[in-house]
Structure 1
């Protein structure tokens, strides 16, 4: 059955200061609806149990309902107005979304910081999938939901859409929500939810962090072959790195960039069974796992196996 689109509840973030002087981020749900209440409760419940350096930390919450007098059909009536607030650790560098730009060649984060961001997101996702008391599928992994602390350590946030996932389970849903471009096709088109949905989202993020382009896939870039695409992106980075005075790790970093692009490509394979688990992704990043099987099974946008 084809899944139906559900509108995402909007949120806003406000900076606040505690009595002890510590800065905090206050997340406020903009729309007060039954769905927003469910997302608030879901996120609060999950964040209270999650403890990891790459997961945003919940400091407190507030939930208050009051009656307000509002116009309705030519008269005034009393209605309930509910305020949902989550108090989170403050992340001074904002979201990763602020650092993805086509101008990455001349500005933005250096390669080592970008690699640290990719690796940190993978560690956070591994905690959710494999180390939490019950595995958690995030289902809304995207740059706006990756926050960066003062040292650009990434922390995954926004768990309102997340689902608990019991081992060997496949969840089917008639509704879905999230952002187009980051949703795996099996979730977007058929409502199938597994951890591989997050792996697809991670692959898109990796591609965007490296290339500086948004909204993967880019048909004009990789329709011919992933090999040409990788060579082109690595060459862009090579030129950028060579311009940095006293740069001494050019070849090693170019090899690392190439590896990360290839990992991003295999994560967005249209066939979920041919995507790696997050543990394997981390092992690939660290050189402990071969990518050959995944590369052989990598598919082009047209669904035709690439020539390697």
Structure 2
């Protein structure tokens, strides 16, 4: 096994054809979503991870992700609680934890959104940080991937892959919305990624 963060070193620039292909990245995104869903919704005692980041995600020999390191996790409670201590890793922490000490399952949703952006683009930037609108961010990311996919030998359907990439980006933008009440539960995010749930772009993250 190796850490997901190690894989990022191979794909730091998304416009390069080397590294993980789109299908592999999509499977990793979906796998992390399933793992988080198990923690939040399928356990007898729901778990809030509180430190979801690439360094805490292992990939097995088949690149199937496994969420690890539960040292900061909260067991058996998904209701809102408050804390005076700031837990987690900067860059993956939601604003309500950074500035208010509020803990809910929506913290993990925010972290998952940052990870989605990192897997797709090779960096943690998103519109609220990059100074671009969501539309500009999506189009730039898609154009980079079109360039990669068009250069890939034996590649299948460009439009199908681009549609899948766009769904993942939109889902990621919803996850990193600064308003936690607009971040859906993880099961809904998974359905958005898979295309079985419509995506309301109004809930996405826009530059003020």
TM-score, with normalisation over the residues of structure 2? 0.93
Deviation digits for residues 68-90 of structure 1, max 9, x if unmatched?
A: xxxxxxxxxxxxxxxxxxxxxxx
Other-structure match for 1:300: 206
Q: Does the C-alpha gap of structure 1 residues 219 and 282 become closer, same or farther in structure 2, counting only changes over 3 Å?
A: closer
Total equivalences in the alignment: 205
Per-residue deviation, residues 32-60 of structure 1 (Å, max 9, x unmatched): xxxxxxxxxxxxxxxxxxxxxxxxxxxxx
Among 53, 67, 91, the residue aligned to 1:142: 53
* 2:3 counterpart residue number: 95
- What secondary structure sits across from 1:176 in the alignment? coil
1:102 match: secondary structure: coil
Equivalent residues in 2 for 1:44-83, closer than 5 Å: none
**Residue 180 (structure 1) aligned to one of 90, 110, 118:** 90
Mapped to 2, the partners of 1:242 and 1:299 lie a distance apart of 29
Q: Is the 8 A contact 1:120 1:154 kept in 2?
A: yes
Structure (1 or 2) with the greater helix fraction: 2
Find the aligned partners of 1:132 and 1:297 in 2 and give their Cα distance.
28
Aligned to 1:115: 26
- Asked if the contact 2:17/2:152 (under 8 Å) is kept, the reply is no
Q: Partner of 1:103: helix, strand, or coil? A: coil
Q: RCO (CA 8 Å, sep 6+): is it higher in 1 or 2?
A: 2
Return the offset for 1:218. Answer: 6.1
**SS of aligned partner of 1:246:** coil
Q: For the Cα contact (< 8 Å) 1:181–1:216, is it kept in 2?
A: no
Offset at residue 202 of structure 1 (A): 0.1
| Contact 2:127–2:137 (CA under 8 A) maintained in structure 1 | no
Bigger fraction of residues in strand: 1
SS in 1 for 2:58: strand
Deviation readout 1:219-248 (Å, 9 max, x if unpaired): 674x23111110111110111111112212
TM-score, length of structure 1 as denominator length: 0.64
Task: Tell me if the contact between 1:95 and 1:143 (Cα under 8 Å) persists in the aligned partners.
Answer: yes
Aligned with 2:150 (options 217, 235, 242): 242
* Structure 1 residue 144 displacement after superposition: 0.5
Aligned position for 2:125: 216
Which of residues 154, 176, 185 is equivalent to 1:277?
185
- Superposed displacement of residue 162, structure 1: 0.2
Cα contact 2:127–2:205 (8 A) shared by 1: no
Unaligned runs of 5+ in 1: 1-90
Q: Which residue matches 1:35?
A: none
Quote the residue 1:10 is aligned against.
none
In the alignment, the residues of structure 2 paired with residue 127 and residue 245 of structure 1 have an alpha-carbon distance, to the nearest angstrom, of 36
Residues 127 and 134 in structure 2, CA contact (< 8 A), matched pair in contact too: no
Q: Which has the larger radius of gyration?
A: 1
Partner of 2:159: 251
Decide whether the 8 Å contact of 2:28 with 2:65 is kept in 1.
yes
Comparing 201-210 and 176-185, the one that deviates more: 176-185
1:272 and 1:219 map into 2 onto residues whose CA distance is 15
* Residue 107 (structure 2) aligned to one of 184, 197, 202: 197
Tell me which of 125, 128, 133 is aligned to 2:36: 125
Q: C-alpha displacement at 1:269, in angstroms? A: 0.2
Q: Give structure 2 stretches of 5+ with no counterpart.
A: none
